[in-house]
Amino acid sequence: MFDIETTGLNPYDHQVTLIGIKKEGKIKQLKVWEFNSEAEMILEAIEELKKLKTFEDSIIGYNNLKFDVPFMLKRLDILGGMKPEFWEIIQYKKWLDLYQLMRDNFRKLDEWLIVIKPLFQFSFMRLSLCYFIYLL
């Protein structure tokens, strides 16, 4: 699982304050006040994401692909630490962005299980989805 917290919605005026990554049952929270800079914290998160296995690991979140990752990378660009290869964390990783499934339609869990049931046919996502549903 992956999530960021920010002070607002505009990467030009706001900053990333916290990045959460849950991997193999362990939660890692990167807090801006525990780093020398916001850029250092973002670079640490990118390194953590790079460690995920391309075909075995799924990254689950809500609106990761349209907000979290672009915001984080734009902040890094503004702070002067961006490298083009950082966009590979989107391209070459397996993301399950729940916003793309749900949009702004907040149905009951039973209805969403019907929507995501076809995804269970893919064994690489089965455990991650079961765990996420368990957390709900």
DSSP-derived letter for residue 79 is: T
Q: Per-residue pLDDT tens for 28-54?
A: 999 999 999 999 999 999 999 988 887
Q: What is the pLDDT of residue 113?
A: 64
pTM: 0.75
Q: What is the mean pLDDT of the chain?
A: 82
Per residue in 74-91, pLDDT (tens digit) is 999 999 999 988 888 888
* CA distances for 12 relative to 73, 79, 125, angstroms: 12, 10, 35
Helix (H, G, I), strand (E, B) or coil at 12: coil
Q: Which domains does the chain have, with CATH numbers?
A: 2-102 (3.30.420.10)
Q: Are the C-beta atoms of residues 68 and 100 closer than 8 Å to each other?
A: no
Cβ neighbour number for residue 68 with a 10 Å cutoff: 21
